[in-house]
Structure 1
Amino acid sequence: MIDIGVVLSSLIAQAPLVAIVIVVLYHILDKRIEKLERWVEKLDNKIESVRTELSGQIKSLARAFYSYSDTLIRFLSAKGLVAEPEAVLLRGALDALIPVARSKYYTEEIREKLLKLLRKEIKDYTWDDVAELEKIAEAIYKEYEATGREDLLDYYPKLRMYIAIIQGLLTRREMERREVTKQS
């Protein structure tokens, strides 16, 4: 038979050795965990740095794309290749798809201004109306950035396209007036 007293005295005799082994293992693991945590923190910092840089580059690329698109559409509109019927068609789509206002940038007041401007006759637009539409477009984009609402991101380029068409039509109208004035 097994003598329990002998087993217990043997375990008690080894307890200090076991405790020392546990302390040493804990110390080694603690150091490795600290080293791993520092490495992960450095990696997080690098990832955040790359994320920030990429975000800036993507925003810059988006601005360049919108600027190019706006200029091209405005030019085509001024040349008469995009005319009032296309503007009316796009205006109808914008009116039907107008996003719900929910927050601090794209407010209900701004939404009402947009509705009012979209329901205006194309021939009645002024440069002041264009400036107001541009402010509204920027409010919609800021709202998208703040909230991540996809409906705003979908709406924004369509509104920018409409603004560019109106700018082109206004430019064409001014060019035609100058021609009439020159001929008189």
Structure 2
Amino acid sequence: MKNVFIINAHEAYPFSEGKLNATLVHRAKTHLTQKGYDVRITTMKDDYDVEQELANHQWADVLILQSPVNWMEVPWSFNRYMDTVYSAGMGGQLCDGDGRSRQDPSQQYGTGGTLTNTKYMLSLTLNAPKAAFDDPNQWFFEGKGLDDLFWPMHLNFKFFGMHPMKTFACFDVMKNPDIENDFIRFEAHLNKHFELLPSA
């Protein structure tokens, strides 16, 4: 595991310039580079080439999706990225169709992924407090967790054959931020899941 591809899915708004997500991407790149990893980054605010993005996914041992949670999902610009890039990868770069056979199209949906040696990690920033999740006494999420909220994104990556790493999140980033502690937790998360490479 040497190649890490980071996608910064942040879309800038007047009330959210994207500094936190950009800083997390920068810290991940610096931390992982120091550990001996090769890192590539794509950002939604910049132009990207579809074929290069497909190549980045094929090159990566790990994909890190750094994203704010906007209206309970990723920003619209990353949805556009998925519609453009991921749809283009259906011919074998990311998956060979949906995995089903003509003989029995009722079976094996979602097993056509070609990135079976690739892991992915969600790193999310959101305004909701951590206490709002995994607690059946909290009204809004009804006891569900953050990974339940992002289950569709997990399924997107599973469709390509990828395997999940533990999700990281910065909670309550607007109303009650604790950013410095978030950075400490983020570094600890990276240390736990990315070992120091022998060549580093």
Shorter-chain TM band: under 0.3
Q: Which structure shows the higher strand fraction? A: 2
Which of the pair has the greater relative contact order for Cα pairs under 8 Å at 6+ separation? 1
What is the TM-score with the length of structure 1 in the denominator? 0.27
Q: Which structure shows the higher helix fraction? A: 1
| Bigger Rg over Cα | 1
